[in-house]
A and B are shown apart, each in its own frame.
Chain A
Amino acid sequence: MTATAIPQQAPDLREPKGWRSTKNRTMTILMVVSFVLVIIPLGFVLFTVIAKGASIISWQFLTGSPIPPNVLPAGIGGMWPAVLGTLLITGLATLMAVPLGVLGAIYLNEYGGKNWLAALIGFMSDVMTGVPSIVMGLFIFSIWVLHFGYSGLAGAFALGCLMLPVVIRSSYEILRLVPDSLREGSYALGATKARVTMTVVLPAALGGIVSGALLAIARAAGETAPLLFTILTVTEANPDVFNGANTSLPSQIFSNASQPYTGAQDRGWGAALTLIAICFILMIVARFVTARFTRYSR
């Protein structure tokens, strides 16, 4: 017999068939399903808030004052006191938490290095992000409100305490990415450490720090629990953050959500849409800053 060319079996490089590939595929599908499980409620929430809120929101709703009693239908008065309160209180909290947080991160990365104190502060600041927001409210209530009364400032303290560890963490991550060669270059020119940090390291990290801070602000703007016992809830606009009870969008949503009156619920939806819009705009700006101004990333 002549050696008929037995066709050389080419190794099968295709995916394995049978049980193993079925299992692989099932698991991949389950992973996609888990993502879909998250999209559905998110989409549902956003859809409801937009559908119910869009018909309520108007110029009058955003800038009208005072907030009417619960029994009245939407369309009378407006949410200006809450919008103003949210902007002022969150703004004040930002002024306190962002500089301190960035300085704290500078200590951790530029001065602390690997010493035990920096390690402890870094660890405890991560732990502090897990402190429930209501506890921050109780804390400010007992050290500030009991002595000086309710005010927007007290609310800003509570929000600031919540933002501080978040800002420290995000700024620290960015500062770590700034290459040492930049620092060494400036030291070689004779600059002091403070000068190197302020004029070389910080500008290099600015994009990341700003975007981290914006995300922290977005989270803080939506917080209700720390404000409940620090600013109370009033219906008149109070532009003086340092004195007197104030109000905010989240506080208004909270008090309206449990009301049986449709007018109150409508105002709740309108306020929710306003609040979500503020948070999302901050987040989108943060994304833009990250994409446009970040010099060093992982």
Chain B
Amino acid sequence: MSTAVKADPAGPAGSANPLTARRPLGDRVFQILALASGLLVLVILVLIAVSTSQQASSWFSTEGLKIFTNDWDPAAGHFGALAFIYGTAITAVIAVIMAVPVSVGIALLLNEVVPYRWSRPIVYVIDLLAVVPSVVWGLWGILVFAPWIQHIYASIASGVNDIPVLGFFFGTPTSGASFFTCGIILAFMITPIVTSLSREVMATVPQIDKEGAYALGATRWEMITGAVWPHSQGGVVGAVLLGLGRAMGETIAAALVIGSSATITSRLFAPGYDMPAVIANQFGEASGVFRAALMGLGVLLFVFTIIINVLARGIVERSARRKRGG
């Protein structure tokens, strides 16, 4: 090796300047491979949009704006999807309302309260929660959780049925598999992601701000509201939006516990339906416009979640960058 260098100090084949020499083929091929893999992400996203909209086009063209009516009757050829959009929104909102305070609480606990050697096992537990598959949540939800919570629903409903506002939301009818059960299960499922993103955002709060608050005599909670929260507010909003997106798209658990009834009702303990669940349950036996309609629900779901994710990632990224001082 060293003798070869001595023999030809000007480099291989006497090329003039190694800095301006052509890069070897392998090097360029590797760069192109890497670029292609990166571009694959964009290609897949575009392909998803194009191919699913193509398959759904007959739904959009035959029903037109009637896709947003509350009239889902495949046998009669009516495919108005409002009930599913409503169910998706309601369950996702219930999930977010329940998951966010808990997630922010855990994030604060991990970042500001417990010492490092305790925070690791807590993170493991949260990760375990994230690894439990959706279908296992669904199995447990429908066979164990729903029958158990049905009695609680029934007693709540009989208590509040005649009270104006509460009765409107929590009155009869009740069912173990319902909007509310689905919301609870979804809340369990989105807690890990909201927690970890909130932590990430809160970790960007400058140490000196926190120490400043303590130096002024603040209690820990005052330090959190005065130093941590103003810095991480925006990012936590982004994390919440991401959780909302996850809850909207979560399929299998919802398909098992939502009750499978295409109705629009204010009663949260009543069975309902949402977009991913109806796709999962009915796609197998669908054909023609029916299949196109379910495919179209997928397109709507894709569009909604992409919008929410772009917004959320934008917020998270912007707040993280501002905090780093960039």
Taking Cβ atoms with an 8 Å cutoff, the residues of A that contact B are: 15-16, 20-21, 23-24, 27-28, 30-35, 37-39, 41-42, 44-46, 48-49, 100-101, 103-104, 106-108, 110-112, 117-118, 120-121, 123-136, 138-139, 142-143, 146, 161, 164-165, 168, 190, 192-195, 197-198, 215, 218-219, 221-225, 228-229, 250, 253-254, 256-258, 265, 268-269, 272, 275-276, 279-280, 283, 287
Question: How long is the Cα–Cα vector from A193 to B31 in the complex, in angstroms?
Answer: 9
> Is there a chain A Cβ closer than 8 Å to B138's Cβ?
yes
How far is B127's CA from A280's CA once the two chains are assembled, in angstroms?
A: 10
For B102, what are the chain A residues with a Cβ–Cβ distance below 8 Å?
Answer: 34, 37-38
**A108 close to B38 (CB less than 8 A):** yes
Please pick, from B129, B220, B250, the residue contacting A132 in the complex, using a CB distance under 8 A: B250
Which B residues are in CB contact (< 8 Å) with A257? 135, 138-139, 142-143, 256
For window 176-202 of B, CB contacts with A under 8 Å fall at: 188, 191
Question: Which B residues are in CB contact (< 8 Å) with A129?
Answer: 309
Q: Is B44 a contact of A128 with CB atoms below 8 Å?
A: yes
Contacts of A28 in B (CB 8 A): 113, 220-221
Q: How far is the CA of A176 from the CA of B41 in the complex (A)?
A: 20
Do A287 and B37 touch across chains, with their CB atoms under 8 A apart?
no
**Interface pick from B49-57, B76-84, B151-159, B161-169:** B49-57
Is B124 within 8 A of A222, CB to CB? no
Task: Let me know if A132 and B276 touch, CB within 8 A.
Answer: yes
> What 1/0 flags go to B216-227 for Cβ under 8 Å of A?
010111101000
Are B135 and A142 in contact (CB-based, < 8 A)? no
State whether B249 touches A132 (Cβ < 8 A): yes
Residues of A within 8 A of B246 (CB): 130
Q: Which residues of A contact B252 (CB under 8 A)?
A: 224-225, 250, 254
Proximity bits, B102-127, A CB within 8 Å = 1, else 0: 11111011000100000000101111
Task: Beyond A24-B219, A45-B140, A229-B284, list 15 extra A-B contacts (CB 8 Å).
Answer: A16-B217, A23-B221, A112-B38, A125-B41, A130-B312, A135-B302, A138-B298, A168-B41, A194-B30, A215-B131, A257-B138, A257-B143, A257-B256, A258-B256, A283-B131
Task: Using known A-B contacts A103-B37, A142-B51, determine if residue A222 contacts B113 with beta carbons closer than 8 Å.
Answer: no
- B220 to chain A minimum Cβ distance, whole angstroms, is 6
Assess the A48–B44 pair: CB atoms within 8 A: no
Q: Chain B binding site: helix, strand, loop or mixed by DSSP?
A: helix
B65 within 8 A of A: no
Expressed in whole angstroms, the Cα–Cα distance for A46 and B309 within the complex equals 31
- Are B42 and A111 in contact, CB atoms less than 8 angstroms apart? no
Task: Pick 9 A–B contacts, CB within 8 A, sort by A.
Answer: A28-B220, A35-B109, A104-B38, A107-B34, A130-B245, A164-B40, A193-B31, A194-B29, A276-B133
Residue contact A224 to B39, C-beta cutoff 8 Å = no
**Is residue B310 within 8 Å, beta carbon to beta carbon, of the partner chain?**
yes
Number of interface residues, chain B, beta carbon within 8 A: 91
A215 to B9, CA, bound (A): 49
B10 close to A (CB within 8 Å): no
Stretch of B18-26, B66-74, B263-271 lying at the A interface: B18-26
Query: Is A124 in contact with B134, judged by CB distance below 8 angstroms?
Result: no
Q: How far is the CA of A185 from the CA of B54 in the complex (A)?
A: 52
B316: nearest residue on chain A (CB-CB)?
A126
Known interface pairs A48-B144, A225-B276; A100-B250 also in contact (CB < 8 Å): no
How far, in whole Å, are A202 and B225 apart by their CA atoms in the complex?
42
Shortest CB distance A285–B (Å): 12
Determine if B210 is an interface residue (Cβ-Cβ < 8 Å): no
Q: How far is the CB of A192 from chain B (nearest CB, A)?
A: 4
Which of these, A165, A195, A250, contacts B135 with CB under 8 Å? Answer: A250
Task: Tell whether, in the assembled complex, residue B309 and residue A127 are in contact, meaning their CB atoms are under 8 Å apart.
Answer: yes
- From residue B81, how far is it (CB to closest CB) to chain A in Å? 15
Q: A48-B144, A134-B298, A142-B52 are in contact. Are A222 and B37 (CB under 8 A)?
A: no
CB-CB < 8 A to A24: which residues of B?
219-222
Give Cα A182 to B46, complex, Å. Answer: 37
Determine whether the beta carbon of B308 is less than 8 Å from that of A124. no
Inter-chain contacts of A250 with B (CB < 8 A): 133-135, 252
Shortest Cβ-Cβ A-B pairs, 5 listed: A132-B249, A222-B133, A34-B105, A194-B30, A103-B37
Judge whether A103 and B308 touch: CB under 8 Å.
no
The residue in chain B whose Cβ has the minimal distance to the Cβ of A102 is B37
- Of B127, B129, B298, the residue contacting A135 (CB under 8 A) is B298
The interface residues of chain B lying within 8 Å CB-to-CB of A272 are 135-136, 139
Task: Give bound CA distance, A77 to B314, whole Å.
Answer: 51
Q: Could you say which residues of chain B place their CB within 8 Å of the CB of A27?
A: 220-221, 224
Query: A38-B126, A228-B280 in contact; A258/B52 too (CB < 8 A)?
Result: no
In the complex, A276 Cα to B284 Cα: how many Å?
26
What are the residues of chain A within 8 A of B144 when measuring CB–CB? Answer: 44, 48
B189 to A: closest C-beta gap in Å: 10
The CB with the most chain B CB atoms within 10 A, among A107, A112, A257, A269, is that of A257
Contacts of B313 in A (CB 8 A): 123, 126-127
Contact B221 A104 (CB under 8 A): no
